[in-house]
Amino acid sequence: MGQKVLLSSKEINIILHRLACQLLENHLDFENTALIGIQPRGIFVANRLCKILKEEYGVKHINLGFLDTTFFRDDFRRGDKTLEATKTKINFLVEDKKVVLIDDVLYTGRSINAALTALQSFGRPSEVELLILIDRRFSRHLPIQPNYRGRQVDAIDDEKVKVMWKENDGKDVIYLMNR
């Protein structure tokens, strides 16, 4: 299995700062905005963005949550592998808020579709945006496109994008791997 580095730690950091600036342009004080990381790997992107916005741009309060989509997926009961749920942590109402769903890789769009369905359990947002670190643009099964995109990758189906985070994997790096 061969692998190629798509983004180094430094490049990931630059992209996260750019995405934070784009969010800041569109949401200013974040008073009526919620950032929601999609479990399991979108939470790393959401946490990093929240930290950048607070520490480097002085945003005082950000509604930050984590959303598990396991039981909302259309492939939940398919296959031999039993899916394990993670924790949803949303300590605020999304009713009439602008919600930014955050994930690491946009591939087929099915996870985002499940997140949109799961989000309805917490109220009706006034608007939903999508922020993605890596967009695999030629792999979509559903008509879902990000509002904020870190990097666009033209990966073919037998290639995999693997995102590693210092908090979970010991280092920040993104690989393009042959299966």
Pairwise CA distance, residues 139 & 120, whole Å: 26
Q: Where are the domains of the chain?
A: 3-69+84-178
Question: CA-CA distance, 162 to 141, in Å (whole number)?
Answer: 20
Residue 100, amino acid: V
Q: What is the 3-state secondary structure (H, E, C) of 4-30?
A: EEEECHHHHHHHHHHHHHHHHHHHCCC
For 9-67, the pLDDT digits (tens) are: 999 999 999 999 999 999 998 999 999 999 999 999 999 999 999 999 999 999 999 99
Q: How far apart are CA 98 and CA 33, in angstroms?
A: 5
CATH architecture of 3-69+84-178: 3-Layer(aba) Sandwich (3.40)
> What's the pLDDT score for residue 124?
95
Burial class (CB in 10 A: 0-12, 13-18, 19+), 80: exposed
pLDDT range class, residue 155, cuts 50, 70, 90: confident
The reported pTM is 0.92
